[in-house]
Structure 1
Amino acid sequence: MRPDELGAHLGQEVALSQWIPVTQERIQAFADATGDHQFIHVDAEQAARGPFGTTIAHGFLTLSLLAGEFMNTGGAPHIEGARMVVNYGLNRVRFITPVRAGARLRNRATLQAAEPGEGYLQLTVVNTIEIEGEARPACIAESVFRVFL
């Protein structure tokens, strides 16, 4: 959409990503990258006896998909004329439902604010990261992006 159209889309869904698989291999790679090797993430045998019945993704793995996979598969608003989009931060994050290994996630983005800056637009987006087949989302995160024009 064009920058001058953003105001008309406040409070509306502006993007929906494709489904992204969260494999045990992805969970293991995230554990290796961050050093978080808690058994609920990487030990299938011990995790099977735990509260989730299987391994689960790290909350921050789920959140990190906002910066890559979801952006690349339609999960963020496309702004015409954008030269670059940078992550400016997060206002609020909640991890609602555990993401079991093998689940698929997608992001539903709702535009909350669009404010002009010097050479950029600052967008506030509520991201609802859904789990295929689950009633409750994995995560709800309010993110802030700067779109340089």
Structure 2
Amino acid sequence: MGVAGCGKTSVGQGLATALGWVFIEGDAHHSPASIAKMQAGQALTDEDRWGWLERLGQMLADQAPVVLSCSALKRAYRDRLRLACPALRFVFIDIDKALALQRVADRADRHFFSASLVDSQFTTLESPIGEPGVVTVPATLALSAQVERALDLLTPRNNQETRP
């Protein structure tokens, strides 16, 4: 989970591959109206997101074990997903605004999300740090290191201390 451009899809695919689980790309399940809104540079509202979160929650419940990439920017969104899948855990991919903006701009030709919405993502974000079941991975690490760090934090081996 995290803001646009943090690497949710790449890290999620890497985790799914490593775990042998199904991968679900959350962005693929937005309504056509929400996609059009984002393409037009309009931020989604809570009302725009509730149906999307319900769809994702149902997918989590139906297809577990699964890795889902989803912004889940507010605690209420994360809680909605936790209702559908109580054992759900989150990997928060922490990124600064400048890097997120650069990454979103770099992928503009292949993704519907407008770079003009990056500010609204950071405004909406309610940090999950400190919530139960949340681990944090820096977006500045190489992709393989992000996946390895997430796996280490999510699945500590033999009760050994995990790497910082």
Give the TM-score normalised by the residue count of structure 1: 0.27
Larger radius of gyration, structure 1 or 2?
1
The structure whose residues are more often helix, as a share, is 2
Give the TM-score normalised by the residue count of structure 2: 0.25
The structure whose residues are more often strand, as a share, is 1
